[in-house]
């Protein structure tokens, strides 16, 4: 058996996902694979869909082998035997599941039938609504009982998984989401970043980075923007991201009379430049699905204070009065008050931004996240004891 200089044998990993479109969990996976010591942890990607998505394309561009179109239809009874055959041929030490519904439904039975030694589910969602929700949650509880480890994104998230998903606490590992602080050191000036977006250099600027979906509640951000503009007409607001609600939200902005003060960037890969143009970062999300926002971590790494609704486990990164403010859900007045406070108090804004970056460097760095996963993979591969029988819960 091949070993490295320290006498350790490689731990092979197969990663199962549905498709890797743009999203927080998908971005985290790509960053993990970039940072992972692939000599020690050789990885393969297996996608249920025929479409890899933008993140999937980037991962394959990193030289990671990918098997696609295992189950292109939403319901495919042949997916389990196909996956069993793939896992039996690849013989991974660890099967890492990205918490897409079909990955659990197909991947866990297939992994157990193929006698994969350890199965890990990386979970980044909270209170997600499913079609046939009660049945889906019942099935999830059964399937997650067959998983060796569930990775939670925060301490509170671990409590949620134990209470809502029925996973034994001994089988839950907290690994905080992480971002690379060095990537968010500004390479251009704030004035230059604003010129690129057509924003006046002296305007106070708040922004949101999120897919244009209902759970992100952009309409609350727009209402808050209207309230701020009533006091500070020179303020500007950036909406970075794209999605199915763009036309609806643009119409809402027109009805509020604030279109002139908005900058819609669409989807951007140059996020450090976009963040460099902001003074304050906002999230107006509702409770469903928001867990431990990667977008907020990126903003903090860029030295921005965060104004965020009290959702998910954001209180584990947004410390009231220190790295930002937490406001009630669906309360544009409270969001506007917090943004206005930071616009008007440069010293407070600067101190919060400095604290936010220091917190990311100390606790939420990509390097720390990768190291925690490498330790988990190593520990899991060394774990003694027989494999669990297929879905014996």
> Measuring CA to CA, which residue among 303, 368, 356, 345 is closest to residue 28?
368
State how far the Cα of 291 lies from the Cα of 17, in Å rounded to an integer. 19
Strand order in the sheet with 172-174: 66-67, 43-47, 13-17, 94-98, 118-122, 149-152, 172-174
Judged against a pLDDT cut of 50, whether residue 392 lies above it is answered with no
Residue 5 lies in a domain: no
Residue 389 lies in a domain: no
Judged against a pLDDT cut of 90, whether residue 26 lies above it is answered with no
* 171 and 225 share one domain: no
Residue 393 lies in a domain: no
State how far the Cα of 323 lies from the Cα of 355, in Å rounded to an integer. 6
* 211 and 300 share one domain: yes
* 146 and 187 share one domain: no
State how far the Cα of 83 lies from the Cα of 54, in Å rounded to an integer. 23
**pLDDT, tens digit (0-9, with 9 covering 90-100), for 363-376:** 999 999 999 999 99
Contact 339, 314 (CB under 8 A): no
State mean pLDDT over 347-353.
98
Residue 388 lies in a domain: no
84-98, 220-234, 281-295: least confident range: 281-295
Residue 1 lies in a domain: no
Count of the separate structural domains present in the chain: 2
Collapsed DSSP state (helix, strand, coil) of residue 208: strand
Where residue 2 falls among pLDDT bands split at 50, 70, 90?
low
Give the CATH number, domain containing residue 227.
Answer: 3.40.50.2000
State mean pLDDT over 38-46.
95
Q: How far is CA 238 from the centre of its chain?
A: 20
State mean pLDDT over 187-203.
94
* 49 and 163 share one domain: yes
Residue 390 lies in a domain: no
* 231 and 359 share one domain: yes
* 133 and 219 share one domain: no
Q: Where would I find the H helices in the chain?
A: 24-35, 53-61, 79-90, 101-102, 108-113, 133-144, 155-165, 190-197, 218-231, 246-256, 271-276, 294-301, 332-344, 346-363, 366-382
* 358 and 370 share one domain: no
Cut 0.95: pTM above it: no
* 215 and 313 share one domain: yes
188-192, 215-219, 231-235, 288-292: least confident range: 288-292
Count CA atoms within 13 Å of residue 318 on its CB side: 29
* 195 and 344 share one domain: yes
* 237 and 295 share one domain: yes
Residue 129 lies in a domain: yes
State mean pLDDT over 158-172.
94
* 357 and 230 share one domain: yes
**pLDDT, tens digit (0-9, with 9 covering 90-100), for 59-102:** 999 999 999 988 877 778 889 999 999 999 999 999 999 977 88
* Residue ranges making up the domain that contains 190: 181-363
* 40 and 150 share one domain: yes
Residue 101 lies in a domain: yes
């Amino acid at each position: 058996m091949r070993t490295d200089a320290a006498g350790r044998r490689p731990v092979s990993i197969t990663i199962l996902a549905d498709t890797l479109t743009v999203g927080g969990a998908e971005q985290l996976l790509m960053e993990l694979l970039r940072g992972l010591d692939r000599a020690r942890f050789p990885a393969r990607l297996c996608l249920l869909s025929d479409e890899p998505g933008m993140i999937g394309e980037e991962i394959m561009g990193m030289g990671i082998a990918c098997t696609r179109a295992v189950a292109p239809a939403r319901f495919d009874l042949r997916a389990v035997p196909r996956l069993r055959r793939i896992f039996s041929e690849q013989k991974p030490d660890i099967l890492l599941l990205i918490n897409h519904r079909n990955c659990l439904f197909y991947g866990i039975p297939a992994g157990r039938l193929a006698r994969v030694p350890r199965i890990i589910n990386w979970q980044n969602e909270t209170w997600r609504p499913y079609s046939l929700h009660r049945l889906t949650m019942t099935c999830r509880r059964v399937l997650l009982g067959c998983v060796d480890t569930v990775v939670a994104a925060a301490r509170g998230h671990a409590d949620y998984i134990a209470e809502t998903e029925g996973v034994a606490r001994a089988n839950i590992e907290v690994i905080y989401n992480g971002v690379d602080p060095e990537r968010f050191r500004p390479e251009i000036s704030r004035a230059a970043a604003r010129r690129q977006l057509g924003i006046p250099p002296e305007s106070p600027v708040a922004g949101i980075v999120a897919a244009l979906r209902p759970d992100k509640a952009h309409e609350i951000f727009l209402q808050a923007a209207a309230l701020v503009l009533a006091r500070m007409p020179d303020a500007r607001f950036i909406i970075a991201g794209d999605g199915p609600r763009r036309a609806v939200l643009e119409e809402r902005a027109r009805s509020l009379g604030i279109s002139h003060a908005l900058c819609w960037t669409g989807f951007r890969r140059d996020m450090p430049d976009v963040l460099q143009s902001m003074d304050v970062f906002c999230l107006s999300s509702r409770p469903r699905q928001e867990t431990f926002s990667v977008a907020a971590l990126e903003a903090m790494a860029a030295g921005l204070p965060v104004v965020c609704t009290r959702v998910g486990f954001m209180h584990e990164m947004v410390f009231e009065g220190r790295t930002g403010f937490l406001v009630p859900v669906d309360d544009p007045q409270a969001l506007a008050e917090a943004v206005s406070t930071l616009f008007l108090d440069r010293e407070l804004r600067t101190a919060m931004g400095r604290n936010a970056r220091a917190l990311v460097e100390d606790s939420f760095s990509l390097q720390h996240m990768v190291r925690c996963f490498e330790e988990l993979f190593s520990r899991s591969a060394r774990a003694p004891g027989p494999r669990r029988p297929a879905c014996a819960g």
